[in-house]
C-alpha cells in the first residue's frame, strides 16, 4: 500500500497532466497515446498534408494531434476546423511531441453548434493552415455563393522544403451542389493561376472527373500521378464512403511519394505527400 505522501504525489501528477492536455470535447480523453514505432521523429521538411477533421464529431484534439504527429508534415491544411480545436491541436503537437507549428485561420462562420462557446460568442469555424515555417501575406476569402453553408478559401506564403510557395486551403460546397462548386472553382483557380509555385489543399466535395473541377485540373496536377479527371484514372478514395474528395493540387512541384491514411477520428482520410520543386 502507498503511504499518504506518495498517493498525493501521484494525484498531483495526474492533475497536472489533465491540466496540460485537457479534453477537447465532452468525453475527450485527456492523456496522449504513444505514436507507432515508424512515426516521424521531427517535421518532414518537404511534406504537406490535407485533412478534413470532421466537425462536429466529438473527437479528442489529443487524438487529432497524435494522428498529425505520426506523419509530421511541414504544412498542414485542415478543413471543418474550429479555432479553439486548432489551438489545442497546435499546443498538443508542441507540448507532447515537440513539433512546433505556426497557425493561420481562414474563418467563414461563427458557429455555436459546431464550435461551442457562449451563444453570444460562438466559436469560429472554417479552414486553418499549420506550418513549421513562418507564414505571411494571409488572405481569407468567402466565396460569393457558399451553397447550403458559407464556404471559402485561405492562402498564405510559406516554405515547403527550402522553397517559398503559395499555399491555398479550401472547402467547397457540399455534395449535390455542382453549379455552386463550379463557381467556387473558377474563383479559386483565378487566384492559383497567379503563382508559378503553388500547393492547393482541400476538401472539394467532388470526384476527379466532376466537370466543376475542370478549372483546377487545367492549372495543376493531383499529387497522385495515377489520378486524372477521367473515368480511366485510378484515384485512391479519401473518405469513408469510398470516394475521392480530398486533393493536393500542385504547380511547380513534382510529387515524390503520397499516402492516404484512414483514421478513426474523421470521415475523411489524411492525405499527405512528399514534394520536390521543379
Consecutive 10-residue runs of the chain (278 residues): their mean pLDDT? Answer: 43 41 43 89 97 93 97 98 97 97 96 89 95 98 96 98 96 96 98 98 97 97 92 88 97 96 97 95
pLDDT of residue 266: 98
Task: Name the residue among 65, 62, 69 with its Cα closest to residue 20.
Answer: 62
Q: Tell me if 230 sits within 8 A of 258, measured CB to CB.
A: no
DSSP string, 84-101: HHHHHHHHHHHHHH----
pLDDT of residue 23: 43
Q: Tell me if 166 sits within 8 A of 213, measured CB to CB.
A: no
Beta bridge mates, 117: 122
d(CA 68, CA 107): 21
Strand 198-203 vs strand 163-171: parallel, antiparallel, or unpaired? Answer: parallel
CA dihedral 139, 144, 148, 152 (to 10 degrees): -10
pLDDT of residue 155: 98
Q: Which three cell numbers stand for residue 164?
A: 517559398
Task: Name the residue among 58, 79, 60 with its Cα closest to residue 239.
Answer: 79
Amino acid at each position: 500500500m502507498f503511504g499518504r505522501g506518495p498517493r498525493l504525489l501521484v494525484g498531483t501528477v495526474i492533475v497536472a497532466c489533465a491540466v496540460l492536455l485537457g479534453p477537447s470535447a465532452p468525453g475527450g480523453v485527456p492523456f496522449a497515446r504513444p505514436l507507432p514505432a515508424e512515426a516521424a521523429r521531427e517535421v518532414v521538411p518537404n511534406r504537406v498534408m490535407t485533412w478534413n477533421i470532421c466537425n462536429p464529431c466529438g473527437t479528442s484534439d489529443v487524438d487529432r494531434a497524435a494522428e498529425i504527429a505520426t506523419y509530421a508534415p511541414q504544412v498542414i491544411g485542415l478543413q471543418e476546423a474550429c479555432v479553439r480545436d486548432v489551438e489545442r491541436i497546435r499546443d498538443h503537437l508542441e507540448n507532447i511531441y515537440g513539433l512546433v507549428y505556426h497557425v493561420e485561420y481562414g474563418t467563414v462562420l461563427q458557429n455555436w453548434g459546431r464550435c461551442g462557446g457562449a451563444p453570444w460568442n460562438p466559436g469560429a469555424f472554417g479552414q486553418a493552415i499549420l506550418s513549421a515555417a513562418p507564414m505571411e501575406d494571409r488572405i481569407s476569402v468567402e466565396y460569393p455563393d457558399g451553397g447550403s453553408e458559407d464556404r471559402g478559401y485561405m492562402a498564405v506564403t510559406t516554405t515547403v522544403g527550402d522553397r517559398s510557395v503559395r499555399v491555398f486551403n479550401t472547402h467547397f460546397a457540399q455534395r449535390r451542389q455542382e453549379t455552386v462548386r463550379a463557381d467556387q472553382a473558377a474563383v479559386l483557380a483565378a487566384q492559383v493561376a497567379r503563382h508559378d509555385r503553388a500547393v492547393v489543399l482541400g476538401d472539394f466535395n467532388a470526384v476527379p472527373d466532376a466537370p466543376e473541377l475542370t478549372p483546377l485540373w487545367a492549372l495543376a496536377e493531383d499529387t497522385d500521378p495515377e489520378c486524372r479527371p477521367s473515368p480511366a484514372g485510378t484515384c485512391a478514395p479519401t473518405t469513408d464512403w469510398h470516394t475521392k474528395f480530398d486533393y493536393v493540387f500542385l504547380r511547380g512541384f513534382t510529387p515524390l511519394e503520397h499516402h492516404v491514411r484512414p483514421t478513426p477520428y474523421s470521415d475523411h482520410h489524411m492525405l499527405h505527400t512528399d514534394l520536390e520543386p521543379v
